[in-house]
């Protein structure tokens, strides 16, 4: 039999190894999440020329706190102005690539504003949950002050979805929203980090640390309060980045009128390209059916 001293030494060694594992994992997670690299992947260079798809944007710069943000405004190409879409793009690259997702809106009668968060493209500053929320509010304010849209439609994709929802909560009492569309997004920074960690057996035990290194201070607080503004959630059934459970959770948190579209074969960011682009027509029909603001 082993002596008590040796058993204590073995137990101490196991404890040290366990603590070392969690410490190393914790430090790794802090380095990844604490510096927001899991959330933000900005690029500075221009990635695509809108002229190649017959679009000429109005270059716009506006202030958001200490930051100067860049935006592109595309005016409707038709005589009928059906509304204005304010687009909150996802976490990678910048507006010079993300604008392509909804590039078909102007030719179908919609004005379209896309803006970059702090640190993206030519926007100054650094992206954080606080600064991206401030930029969303500033973009909505700029639109109201300079373009005075009668029918403002808010669209958030991926990371942009959670920013758009919280922005809507902050402005809905003073800026009328015709409807809100959220694609492949989530309701909690902590929750989505936990889900990502749970996908791999190596990081599965580190899930609780997502609540330590990330904050939901700037996440949506009460999505239900946005009612009666119509809420539409869209997700793909093959999204490897933000799975459809996140959209189902958002649907549960919302009040009527609300809807969820799950796109067959849809992954992340390609929903308007799969199935021969059928989602474009479906969304345009949805927008034409939603009562316009008076």
Token code pair at residue 4: 């008590």
> pLDDT grade, residue 37 (50/70/90)?
low
- In angstroms, the CA 188 to CA 171 distance is 19
Task: List all residues 6 or more positions away from 109 whose beta carbon is below 8 Å from its beta carbon.
Answer: 76, 77, 78, 80, 81, 82, 83
For 152, the 3-state DSSP assignment is strand
Which DSSP category does 147 fall into? T
pLDDT value of residue 204: 65
- The pTM for the full model equals 0.86
- Reported as a single tens digit per residue, the pLDDT across 5-33 is 444 444 434 444 444 444 444 444 444 44
Token code pair at residue 213: 């290194």
What average pLDDT does range 230-250 have in this prediction?
96
What average pLDDT does range 283-288 have in this prediction?
96
Token code pair at residue 241: 């980045």
What phi and psi values does residue 88 have, to the nearest 5 degrees?
Answer: -100, 105
- Reported as a single tens digit per residue, the pLDDT across 172-230 is 999 999 999 999 999 998 887 777 776 676 766 766 676 677 789 999 999 999 999 99
pLDDT tops 80 at residue 285: yes
pLDDT value of residue 24: 45
Question: Of 269, 294, 293, 263, nearest to 281 (Cα)?
Answer: 263
């Amino acid at each position: 039999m082993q002596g008590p001293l040796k058993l204590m030494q073995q137990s101490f060694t196991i404890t040290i190894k366990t603590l070392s594992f969690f410490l190393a994992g914790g430090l790794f997670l802090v380095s990844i999440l604490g510096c927001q690299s899991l959330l933000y992947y900005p690029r500075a260079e221009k990635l695509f020329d809108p002229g190649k798809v017959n679009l000429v944007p109005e270059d716009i710069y506006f202030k958001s706190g200490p930051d100067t943000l860049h935006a592109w405004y595309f005016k409707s190409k038709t005589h009928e102005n059906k509304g204005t879409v304010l687009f909150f793009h996802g976490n990678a690259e910048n507006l010079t690539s993300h604008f392509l997702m909804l590039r078909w809106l102007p030719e179908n009668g919609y004005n379209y504003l896309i803006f970059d968060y702090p640190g993206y493209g030519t926007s100054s500053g650094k992206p954080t949950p606080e600064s991206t929320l401030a930029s969303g509010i500033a973009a909505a304010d700029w639109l109201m002050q300079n373009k005075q849209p009668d029918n403002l439609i808010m669209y958030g994709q991926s990371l942009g979805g959670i920013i758009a929802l919280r922005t809507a909560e902050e402005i809905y009492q003073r800026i009328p929203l015709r409807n809100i569309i959220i694609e492949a997004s989530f309701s909690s920074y902590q929750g989505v980090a936990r889900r990502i960690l749970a996908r791999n057996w190596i990081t599965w035990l580190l899930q609780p640390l997502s609540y330590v290194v990330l904050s939901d201070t700037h996440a949506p607080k009460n999505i239900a309060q946005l009612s009666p503004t119509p809420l539409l959630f869209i997700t793909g059934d093959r999204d490897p980045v933000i799975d459809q459970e996140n959209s189902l959770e958002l649907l549960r948190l919302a009040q009527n009128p609300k809807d969820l579209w799950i796109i067959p074969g849809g992954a992340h960011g390609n929903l308007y390209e799969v199935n021969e682009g059928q989602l474009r027509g479906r969304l345009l029909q949805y927008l034409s059916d939603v009562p316009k603001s008076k």
